[in-house]
Homo-oligomer: A and B are copies of this chain.
């Protein structure tokens, strides 16, 4: 977790104080449930809630842990300092540390995911707005980095919208993967605690009870969770790369927003670097790097070993914080991206109509010219464009053999951009449900 790539809303989830608050809630709800089935006195359960508004003293808990060498015991000791040791003696009864730790981790991941979904919604809103704004802004489509056929900038935004919308659905599914809790004891048999306690606590925390746990919640859930974040990060890199390409000096179809105050802008107006999207490219790698260790975490020896724990201490906060930051940085880039439609047109016309050569070829064959002859006709005019800088349409209109097959109007029609944009509405309807 690197401060400059963090938003406080997300880092708060991973602060010790938040963790202890969740621990407290789990313990308090568990006491309620234990009291309800008569395992502990109702007064004792009620007494635990005296600490409801306490800000737990993290330094004090650390101090106790330095002695007990056990984090949960340290917390319980500190809790007893608030509610009294008599009342506290029933807290945590029949539970195992992992019951608290694993359930808490999932609560944190769920909350983190809710923030990620909100970040995604901001990205989606920005993409949708920009897509409609540039629905008809013509630019050249490129395959292999080479001009192919015209498309529109709105379609570019729309496809990123569709991709991110899939990402959103994946996030929702990933949230469900890790929205479980377990209070099932040392090896998951509920030997020392009734399953109803687990059910009650989970309900209160907005989780489902883990159908079957060991000492821990199974880690295939977390592997799926982090894998999903990795896919979303890859989509961020995809969008970021498009912007980086658009901003490069020779293309200059768009630029990241550059505030007036930013140094060096006006003495070197050409030197506006797409640093935000380059940064997003790097952040995507950081998010993605959690995927493999999360998968390696799935294999635990028998009812648990603790190999997963150090990994999760790192990737839990780091990955959610980084992805959250990246989503908001991306949203900002899209919201404020400066688009240059004129440059788009200029780029498209760089080879003076040559991108239309395939349509002309097709038209000639459809007009009855043999494929070989059609090819030669196109070729000889294309070469004049390529080598002598002529205009393709003009050359075709001056080629008697071409005119023998196609009328001047038919030739001109081949350069009509409307031909390429006629289904933009259809596609937008598919993506945005526009009517």
Asked if A355 CB lies within 8 Å of chain B CBs, one says: yes
Tell me which of B69, B249, B296 contacts A142 (CB under 8 A): B249
Asked if A44 CB lies within 8 Å of chain B CBs, one says: no
In contact, B420 and A191 (Cβ under 8 angstroms) = yes
- List the number of copies, as a whole number: 4
**Contacting chain B: which of A107-115, A302-310, A396-404?**
A302-310
- Given the complex, which residues of B lie within 8 Å of A150, measured CB to CB? 187, 189, 191
Q: How far is the CA of A354 from the CA of B249 in the complex (A)?
A: 12
Q: How far is the CA of A291 from the CA of B295 in the complex (A)?
A: 10
- Given the complex, which residues of B lie within 8 Å of A170, measured CB to CB? 224
A residues 235-263 near B (Cβ < 8 Å) are 235, 237-238, 241-242, 244-245, 247-251, 262-263
- Given the complex, which residues of B lie within 8 Å of A427, measured CB to CB? 188-190, 211-212
- Given the complex, which residues of B lie within 8 Å of A235, measured CB to CB? 220, 298
- Given the complex, which residues of B lie within 8 Å of A266, measured CB to CB? 379, 382-383
Extra A-B contacts (16), CB below 8 Å, given A145-B274, A241-B301? A141-B187, A141-B214, A142-B249, A145-B301, A146-B249, A148-B187, A151-B187, A191-B420, A191-B422, A269-B386, A278-B305, A281-B305, A282-B308, A285-B297, A286-B293, A286-B310
Name 15 interchain pairs, CB-CB below 8 A, sorted by A: A2-B314, A141-B188, A142-B303, A144-B301, A145-B302, A189-B424, A191-B420, A212-B427, A220-B231, A227-B230, A249-B350, A278-B305, A278-B306, A286-B314, A288-B295
Residues of A at the B interface (CB closer than 8 Å) are 2, 4-5, 68-70, 73, 140-151, 155, 158-159, 162-163, 166-167, 170, 173, 177, 185-192, 195, 209, 211-215, 218, 220-221, 223-224, 227-228, 230-231, 233-235, 237-238, 241-242, 244-245, 247-251, 262-263, 266-275, 278-279, 281-283, 285-286, 288-293, 295-311, 313-314, 318, 347, 350-351, 354-355, 357-359, 361-362, 375, 378-379, 382-383, 385-386, 419-424, 426-427, 430-431
